[in-house]
Chains A and B, each alone.
Chain A
């Protein structure tokens, strides 16, 4: 039994440390793995967070992302001078922005493009474009466009390729000359969508002149962006801009923080920040606990060595530092693994981000400061966790330490004291008394295993929530196959034309107007949608997922919007219509409905028409179509002049499944790994400690005639009790973590319902139980090799 002879220029005490560490290598590795997970999630989220924040800031700055945005119906270019005079405004850039339909070969359903005008002879003063490929527009070539990168990538478009669009009812062949990105469309999402759909939504930048010409907007604009001076009062600028644009059909100006792409990105960063806190906290707490248990055990068995060291003149500080060094060595191993693992995870996450967020460049660069911070945080947690155990070694009086630890005191367990002693076999009594003797340690072990269950639920539940949301959204609420929006509102009779399109089985009208809804000093810009009272294709649902028929009068609000406005059923809110006659009216809220996407405000169609002081007018229709004829229907719709946009629900669902589901599975894989590390770390260490503490006792039992199976039962029974106790606790923790995550994604853009399927709970429990079983069996093998004579000879 010759051990590796270390000949390093280190002190004898440090040599002891390294060998002690080597002796507990399996346990040390299990703990280092938990630390590594903590450091990995820390490094991953913080580095990604920082690189996203830095990239965003640079991108916004260099490509002059606007500070204030506003849409109007049509305003004369002469208004620019007045806007520029608003105090605090430094740059004014006007544009013509419209949605158009694209006919993409190989794509049945129509795609939508946001057509954004840009100056042909110069770069835009605000919201400039980054050219990935090709060139900028050439003046005088009215058919040239720059195409957004996501869309181009999905369809393999290169500069020089052609694209067919229906612009203001006229079919036009466009030539892509460049592939571009813009800070305005980092998250390229169409309003009302849950996630970006790069296949069916494009941004096309086109010269101002041809766009003006196509939409009869000569010398006019319908979109204005402002750059503000440093320190300008954005709220005041917005107020003044609204006053100026009011008579030109202004839809209400908003600040950068309310811009869709920025908002999604900001929300993502917020979640990442939460992740950077939550995940490392879970892992490092578990690691701190495990270190405490293991170091406590080491110090317990080394009492006599500690005494000898002190007798030789080693100070209390020397002894304390010695054990802290042991902890720190182990921690550093974990940190090193964690950094490597974190970089790998971070690269994965960054790659994931680049599929949803379009930046010119997004690098994952691990900085030394983040590594240093990781070391500091994990070392801090490790030292904090082991301070109690180290303190025991420090305060141990040297004379006291010469005597072995006094025998542990046991008592009858609660169950026995309750008089149920006959229910318990002697083995069961041993198990329970042992657990009850160290209630804190037992509880913490259970808590550790419970956290593993929780982490699994945390990592898996979002798919349940999203699936539920999609199911409710597309199978219960929006039961139409597609929705068609007209360029301009039409008389209700237009609906008949939709009804007669090929394959259409049912068509229902809707009216949609932009409004500002006000309650006290809170307000939101939203779309007020008029529906038929008993709409079958677009239903409103309540908390119990029951369809709510629209009352003949009054407003129906989505509950999240109501929450944000601080209103309830029965309250009155002020509606300011932002188009047409710009009606202002106080309307009572008659019902609240449950919505996951957007901030909906609804009214019965006829009532809305009356409110707008118009005849029966519709903005578009919801269609139910025969799936066998949809291709024909799409073909027809793509060529219908009055149609501004077509949204196909089935495509949205497909897009969702293609992108989110795949990424969720990848995340789930990591989460299972994390949970297994925690569960194995806790169970394996608990088992090893239990084995070390009780080897003598178990060997004695063997000598007395107990079988291997019987002593295994005593040792593993303890772990089984801890694991079983952990399961309900873990389910609860998982649910609480899920609530926390749900709350962090509850934005005005969309929110997730808290749905955790039984199968998610079941899988979490199963994974942890298997991890516990495997850990238990590894330790059991050690038990089989218990050297009875040697164990009994050792002085306890």
Chain B
């Protein structure tokens, strides 16, 4: 039901032919690559110490694909997601989104990229506490070109009855679903979720994951979910494992589980 490919990290960084595993990935996805990254390296300067978060990542993500980035904390998965989402730029290496070179893009180009293409879901929801569920979604739809109506997006995640509630009046799972509605309301081509269930219990987590899965399935949104919870990996098309800033494994799921089948 799954096959483990040779880790990309074992190939020499600069010369690693993308085709070694990209070809097979492309066969499975059968679609055009949305992201292509080569030799991604990221070093943070924290005071007097340098922290190497990414140590040369080669990677391609495909249109409509559901990818789970799996790894323990400090493995570099958040850094990778931030770079894919245009929140951060790599110290070295390159990353493209279709025809956009995210490495060379300036601040305003990255902002436009995020505004037009990316939907974010954060571990701690990052809702604006002073705005209602509907207004939190409106925050994004107001700056998009062809968004859904905020209530429409909220209905999509099953919150049609909670439009006028403030974040403080919602449960954790509801808050995260508002965050998902907010992320997808602009009809993004990419949905990036950083530990979306990290702060939730199992049952709530499953509801949230169902919402994400539905977006991926119904809207065909390329979806990347970060988690350190290996069970979630079973619902992905492809699971990319990271450790210590490197890709330590890639797994293709021939059959995806639906969220309510997951156990953890």
The interface of chain A, by Cβ under 8 A from chain B, is: 1-3, 5, 11-13, 15-16, 19-20, 23, 304-305, 307-316, 318, 397-399, 402, 795
Are the CB atoms of A12 and B88 closer together than 8 Å?
Answer: no
A308: chain B residues within 8 A (beta carbon): 120, 122, 126-128
**With the chains together, A397 CA to B126 CA distance in Å?**
16
Are the CB atoms of A399 and B139 closer together than 8 Å?
Answer: no
Are the CB atoms of A399 and B82 closer together than 8 Å?
Answer: yes
Q: Does B138 contact A (CB under 8 A)?
A: yes
Within 8 A of A (CB), among B111-152: 111-112, 114-116, 118, 120, 122, 124, 126-132, 135-136, 138-140, 142-144
B112: chain A residues within 8 A (beta carbon): 313
The interface of chain B, by Cβ under 8 A from chain A, is: 82, 85, 87-88, 107-108, 111-112, 114-116, 118, 120, 122, 124, 126-132, 135-136, 138-140, 142-144, 164, 166, 168-169, 182
Given A308-B120, A313-B112, A399-B82, also A12-B130 (CB < 8 A):
no
Are the CB atoms of B115 and A312 closer together than 8 Å?
Answer: yes
Other A-B pairs, 15, CB within 8 Å; known A16-B130, A311-B118, A312-B120: A2-B169, A13-B139, A19-B130, A23-B130, A307-B126, A308-B126, A308-B127, A309-B139, A312-B115, A313-B111, A313-B116, A315-B108, A316-B107, A397-B88, A399-B82
Given A304-B124, A402-B122, also A315-B111 (CB < 8 A):
yes
Are the CB atoms of B168 and A1 closer together than 8 Å?
Answer: yes
Q: Which of B126, B128, B169 contacts A16 (CB 8 A)?
A: B128
Given A1-B169, A5-B164, A19-B130, also A312-B139 (CB < 8 A):
yes
Residue of A nearest to B138 (CB): A12
**With the chains together, A398 CA to B86 CA distance in Å?**
9
Residue of B nearest to A5 (CB): B164
Are the CB atoms of B87 and A311 closer together than 8 Å?
Answer: yes
Are the CB atoms of B142 and A11 closer together than 8 Å?
Answer: yes
Q: How far is the CB of A23 from chain B (nearest CB, A)?
A: 7
Find the residue from A2, A305, A316, A398 having the highest chain B CB count within 10 A.
A398
Are the CB atoms of B168 and A399 closer together than 8 Å?
Answer: no
Are the CB atoms of A12 and B169 closer together than 8 Å?
Answer: no
Q: How far is the CB of A144 from chain B (nearest CB, A)?
A: 77
Q: Which of A16, A305, A311 contacts B114 (CB 8 A)?
A: A311
Q: Which of A1, A12, A307, A315 contacts B139 (CB 8 A)?
A: A12
Are the CB atoms of A305 and B126 closer together than 8 Å?
Answer: yes
**With the chains together, A2 CA to B88 CA distance in Å?**
38
Residue of B nearest to A18 (CB): B130
Residue of A nearest to B127 (CB): A308
**With the chains together, A668 CA to B166 CA distance in Å?**
48
Q: How far is the CB of A760 from chain B (nearest CB, A)?
A: 46
Residue of A nearest to B137 (CB): A12
Q: Report the 10 A-B pairs with minimum CB-CB distance, sorted nearest first.
A: A313-B115, A19-B130, A308-B126, A399-B88, A12-B138, A399-B87, A12-B139, A313-B114, A399-B82, A398-B87
B128: chain A residues within 8 A (beta carbon): 16, 305, 308
Residue of A nearest to B120 (CB): A311
Q: Could you list 15 A-B pairs, sorted by A, with CB under 8 Å?
A: A1-B169, A15-B130, A16-B135, A16-B139, A19-B130, A23-B130, A308-B120, A308-B126, A310-B111, A310-B114, A311-B87, A312-B139, A313-B116, A314-B143, A399-B82
A313: chain B residues within 8 A (beta carbon): 111-112, 114-116, 118, 140, 143-144
B124: chain A residues within 8 A (beta carbon): 304, 795
Q: How far is the CB of B184 from chain A (nearest CB, A)?
A: 12
B131: chain A residues within 8 A (beta carbon): 12, 15-16, 19
**With the chains together, A588 CA to B128 CA distance in Å?**
83
Residue of A nearest to B135 (CB): A12
Q: How far is the CB of A581 from chain B (nearest CB, A)?
A: 89
Find the residue from A3, A5, A308, A312 having the highest chain B CB count within 10 A.
A312
**With the chains together, A16 CA to B135 CA distance in Å?**
9
A399: chain B residues within 8 A (beta carbon): 82, 87-88
Residue of A nearest to B110 (CB): A398
A5: chain B residues within 8 A (beta carbon): 132, 164
A3: chain B residues within 8 A (beta carbon): 166
B82: chain A residues within 8 A (beta carbon): 399, 402
A309: chain B residues within 8 A (beta carbon): 139
**With the chains together, A308 CA to B122 CA distance in Å?**
8
Q: How far is the CB of B118 from chain A (nearest CB, A)?
A: 8
Residue of B nearest to A20 (CB): B130
Residue of A nearest to B139 (CB): A12
**With the chains together, A315 CA to B106 CA distance in Å?**
12
**With the chains together, A398 CA to B110 CA distance in Å?**
11
A11: chain B residues within 8 A (beta carbon): 138, 142
Are the CB atoms of A15 and B168 closer together than 8 Å?
Answer: no
**With the chains together, A2 CA to B165 CA distance in Å?**
8
**With the chains together, A312 CA to B114 CA distance in Å?**
6
Are the CB atoms of A316 and B88 closer together than 8 Å?
Answer: no
**With the chains together, A1 CA to B88 CA distance in Å?**
38
**With the chains together, A402 CA to B81 CA distance in Å?**
13
**With the chains together, A13 CA to B135 CA distance in Å?**
9
A12: chain B residues within 8 A (beta carbon): 131, 135-136, 138-139, 142
Find the residue from A1, A20, A305, A399 having the highest chain B CB count within 10 A.
A399
Residue of A nearest to B136 (CB): A12
